[in-house]
Structure 1
Amino acid sequence: MNLKEKFNNDGFVILKNVVSTDLIEQAKDLTEDIIDYFDHTDTDPFDQFFMNHRVDQGTLYDLYFRHPEFQQLATHKGVIGALREIVGEDFFLYENSLVYKPKGKKNAVPWHQDFMNRTDEPSKFIIWVALDDVTIANGALKFIPGSHKNGFLPYFQVKGETHHTRLKLDGVDLDNYIHGEMEAGDVLIFHHLVIHSSDLVDVDEPRRAYRFSVQGFKQLFSPRCVPVVLSGGRPKAYKNASPRIINKSLLKKFINKVGNRLSNI
């Protein structure tokens, strides 16, 4: 079974030893600096452009645009090559972040599908570059193989929770899951509709991963920042491409950011 066949069958694949130790250590050192800085201040010179980091929730947003070190991970030839086999020649960066499990916090992630409330958007492919060894003990993802084939499932929202959008699990076989254990430098690619979660952990062993998602050219839209083409993008790809009309809330947010920047000139 080749890479694409395995991905289509299970909804995810893990690629071993993709990213060099040097690049991983570089990203880890930078990550520690970012977390240490935002643990002590909320002053962010990029807050007019990007999502605010949430160290209390274990998420650092939009690192591709802030730090060249993470651009090297997203454009790594091993990552791009695998994505071309799975996605095709043409795809762009949809969004990106670094995720980790903050110790002493409510760090469990309930069963969900990524972007499960964006039912009018095309398929997305999520990439995890492991910066640390990812084990059951420190919060490896759990996947239900093949669950992406069922399409979008019903969901509900729980107010006040970090992960407030939850799947309705009626009829879902939660016993049929696989842990996605990885070593630092491994790369996980999964379909955004595959059902996954991670358990509450309280250990000192970190579990950090650079997470980004890509989308084909069927719909050219990014929820924040701008689309960055990672592969292909030659004019032949424009034939079936169409920009998405930004919804009113996102448009209002964008206008406010532009207005704030102009007022500070």
Structure 2
Amino acid sequence: MTEVAVIAQKLNIYTLQSVAVSKGNVIVPMLDGQLLRVTPDGKQAPIVNLVQAELGVPFGISEQGENLIVTVSGYLPQHYLLRVQPDGKVETIADLTRRSGFYGAPFGVIVEQGDYIVTLATDVIDSASELIRVSPTGEISLIANLTLFGNPFGLVVQDQSIVVAQSYGQLVRVEKGKASTIVDLKAQGFGIPFDVTIWRGQLTATTNSGRVVQVDANGKVKTIADLAKAKYQIPSGIATLGEDLIVTTNGGFVLRISA
């Protein structure tokens, strides 16, 4: 039986923002620019405010050792891939502004073999998009064009491939530079995926229908929790903490889901 517990609430969270777990704590990017550290028992402490630092709103977030890797979008536009140290010190890994263009933005980020894999819209309106690799020194290379599937959001590594949540409704597998559909969640009535992780060996995603869903190796989908029905609103970020799931929602909740 699935159980949902509230860790924190009344936070300023947008649906396309991810969430990370670092050193047993939950790190939440918020719409006001803040990175917030939340302990499993709900204690909150700010790490840094990236809007106040004139860098932008944080979206994708991943841990790398002691540090956090974050994508941000500003208004000029300006888009960066950042490294945030535990004391709040911020370093720029790469300026993504020219790559994303005036109408684009970076979204998700993961760390893979020392590099950073970033989902990037080059035009949000026309849903032109790509998956890129950023080296530790900031060099950018294309992994795959994802425009066929819309704007790319959260992502996760599964085996030797990368799985991306796409705005047209699919979970897409990228392997050796080629992208293919794993499952079309929207076509099956589950909605558009925002973020994705691996939980208990299977792909698990948040969707704009309000549900957290799991996809098995055969592409069969099941609902883990209907958070909209439970009045937590629309889930956005998703990560794992031990055997449990951590999910944020645009209702301002940080939730712990166990089953």
TM-score by length of 2: 0.26
Which structure has more relative contact order (CA 8 Å, sep 6+)? It is 1
Instruction: Choose 1 or 2 for highest CA Rg.
Output: 1
Structure having the higher strand fraction is 2
Structure having the higher helix fraction is 1
TM-score by length of 1: 0.26
